[in-house]
Structure 1
Amino acid sequence: MSADIPIYPVGAAHAGVLAALHCASFSAGDQWQEAAIRELLPLPGTYVGLAVQGGHPAGFIMIRCVAGEVEILTICVAADYRQHGVGTALLTWAIQQAEAEDAESLFLEVSSHNHVAQHVYQKAGFKQVGLRKRYYPDGSDAFVLGYTCNRAALAEA
């Protein structure tokens, strides 16, 4: 993780900040409101990393660890901080959390229309493992991407 982009674990006290970031990052049909975020945060195995730049929230990632797998529930980067490594730093944080939980893999869905995010995930080592047709409210497909954690990869070698 880049020393330039600190990632802080956060919880319910930051639900309003997380909701504001999410709403500013996604179209109306995909936005998570504060109440929805508050419902997710106490679920077992749920972790949130908040990226901060210049004292301002720059983005966050929410993951859920269950049965040796980690799902990236959402990741968002505020418009002013895109293309500055924030998304990569958040993914690195999530991978570190997954490995600390002894997870074998991470997975997520990304819109077939979101080419920028696809590039970030591919660069981080995620590979397409599935497809969900017309998954998003706009009718776009979701690519299901997976990442094999280092500990799992080492065990297979």
Structure 2
Amino acid sequence: MIGRWFYPAPPRVSEAEREDFPIMAELHELSFVRDWSEEEIASLMAGDGVFALVTRRAAPTASRRPIGFVMVRAVADEAEILTIAVHPRWRGRGHGKLLMEAAMRRLYADRVLNIFLEVDAENGSACALYERLGFKVVGERKGYYAATGKDGEASTALVMRREMTPPQRPLKGGLGAGKT
């Protein structure tokens, strides 16, 4: 159609697969001073309650290579965001938010009550994203991130938590069950 605007398909979120681990390691290296190797990612992924989600471009002709990922560990009714990374070229386009929302939906369905994460206090864009997603600062670890602070000093990690309300199961028999 003439004059019709075509927008690129939104990125897709899917479960990380073993063949994604090398790219996840590359993304982590591009995002953090202390990178994680492919072996470290594989070891974490082998742990109980650990899952990872990746974003990929959705266009049929686009590469299937992940452009971002989030790794999460859930135990009982609590979860921790272990790491999240988006390729620098794709930052600021909603990939981090998309990954976090997908992880939170999964954790909500799994009846997780609290999600924790740590973020560098100097990473303003990440802090703002987490606050928009309902995370609150519940503590801090001074000097946690080595050599990332101003003037080469160690920076503070903010410990953030988001309380989740699990879906309620309906009472057997519907509303008013058991009343006479």
Alignment TM-score, normalising by the size of structure 2: 0.78
Quote the Cα distance in structure 2 between the aligned partners of 1:72 and 1:121. 11
Q: Kindly indicate whether residue 63 of structure 2 is the aligned counterpart of residue 45 of structure 1.
A: no
* 3-state SS of 1:125 partner: coil
Contact 1:62/1:73 (<8 A) preserved: yes
Partner of 1:149: 164
Give the C-alpha shift of residue 149 in structure 1. Answer: 1.4
* 3-state SS of 2:54 partner: strand
Partner of 1:18: 24
Map Cα deviations across residues 80-126 of structure 1 (whole Å, 9 max, x no partner).
11110001001101101211221001110000111110011111111
Q: Can you give the 5+ residue segments of structure 2 that lack an aligned partner in the other structure?
A: 1-8, 148-153, 170-180
Aligned residue among 86, 109, 113 for 2:122: 113
Contact 1:65/1:101 (<8 A) preserved: no
* 3-state SS of 2:129 partner: helix
Q: Can you give the 5+ residue segments of structure 1 that lack an aligned partner in the other structure?
A: none
Contact 1:63/1:70 (<8 A) preserved: yes
Amino acid at match of 1:45: G
Bigger radius of gyration: 2
Q: What RMSD, in angstroms, separates the aligned Cα atoms of the two structures? A: 1.7
Aligned residues: 150
Q: Kindly indicate whether residue 138 of structure 2 is the aligned counterpart of residue 129 of structure 1.
A: yes
Aligned residue among 33, 40, 45 for 1:36: 40
Map Cα deviations across residues 6-57 of structure 1 (whole Å, 9 max, x no partner).
1110133321111011111222xx2111111111011011010001124342
* 3-state SS of 1:31 partner: coil
Q: Kindly indicate whether residue 98 of structure 2 is the aligned counterpart of residue 89 of structure 1.
A: yes
- Larger relative helix fraction: 1
Partner of 2:15: 9
Stretch of structure 1 that moved more, 9-18 or 125-134: 9-18
Contact 1:59/1:76 (<8 A) preserved: yes
Alignment TM-score, normalising by the size of structure 1: 0.89
Q: Which has the higher contact order (CA 8 A, sep 6+)?
A: 1
Quote the Cα distance in structure 1 between the aligned partners of 2:108 and 2:19. 26
